Amino acid sequence: MAVLLSNEDMCSDIYANENRDGCYNDLALKKDNLSICSFISDRFMSDECIKNIAVKRLNESICNELRFRVKRDGCYNHIATIKGNANICGYITESKLRSVCYKSVIENKTSLRECNIVEKEWKYFCYLTVAKNRNNVSICYLIESDEWESACIKEIAILRNDGRLCSSIYDIDWRDKCYYNLSIINNDTELCNLIIDNGVKESCLNHTYSYS
């Protein structure tokens, strides 16, 4: 940068690197000026400076400028959460944080219009979440995945404590899980007897008998 503003000149006059970097960081954020971050000698702090401005602007494209993966992922996670945009989570490279991001963004969704998510598995999770939040089983049947549809119906059955919904689950394993969960909740051996898998049925009966 050919000409420095006076405030930046004040930072440059600070002898200690840490204090000088802190001065540039505070000034960059105050002025909302990314270029000032480049004066910071510590690369990790420089990334933090860029991240703070990205978050302040809610501009996820700036996150890609970060050199450290942990800062870059944190930047995407922070902005995705604030904006409620699950697709931003897809840019996160660390799998655990990416999952946390998707879940935190999706957990309070109540409209299918908010489920326009590129990643199919998270789109289906969004449909399931909306169905639960609205207690609306019909949404489950809109899911283009037999497994996720079954999981969705199971969640509504548990939410309503309604074993009749379990019978509408096509997938046997998920239907058994549905009956198992409700039998445990209600300590009901009759629901255990509707389970197809003998091992799951035996476990269910043993559990309910032990609490009867």
Residue type, 206: N
Last residue of one domain, picked from the residues 106, 124, 158: 106
Tokens 């930072």, located at residue: 11
Q: For residue 174, give its domain range.
A: 113-212
Last residue of one domain, picked from the residues 88, 106, 124: 106
Specify whether 8 is located in the same domain as 100: yes
How many CA atoms does the CB half-sphere of 77 hold within 13 Å?
Answer: 18
Question: What spatial distance separates the first Cα and last Cα of the chain, rounded to whole Å?
Answer: 77
Q: Tens place of pLDDT for every residue, the chain, 212 residues?
A: 333 445 766 787 787 887 889 899 999 999 999 999 999 999 999 999 999 999 999 999 999 999 999 999 999 999 999 999 999 999 999 999 999 999 999 999 999 999 999 999 999 999 999 999 999 999 999 999 999 999 999 999 999 999 999 999 999 999 999 999 999 999 999 999 999 999 999 999 998 876 55
pTM (two decimals): 0.86
Specify whether 94 is located in the same domain as 9: yes
Last residue of one domain, picked from the residues 106, 132, 159: 106
Specify whether 89 is located in the same domain as 127: no
Longest alpha-carbon distance in the chain: 81
Q: Which two tokens stand for residue 47?
A: 């990334």
Tally of CB atoms within 10 A around 49: 27
CA distance 212 to 152: 29
Instruction: Give the chain's domain count.
Output: 2
Specify whether 82 is located in the same domain as 151: no
Measured at the CA of 60, the angle between CA 33 and CA 124, to 5 degrees, comes to: 165
Specify whether 125 is located in the same domain as 91: no
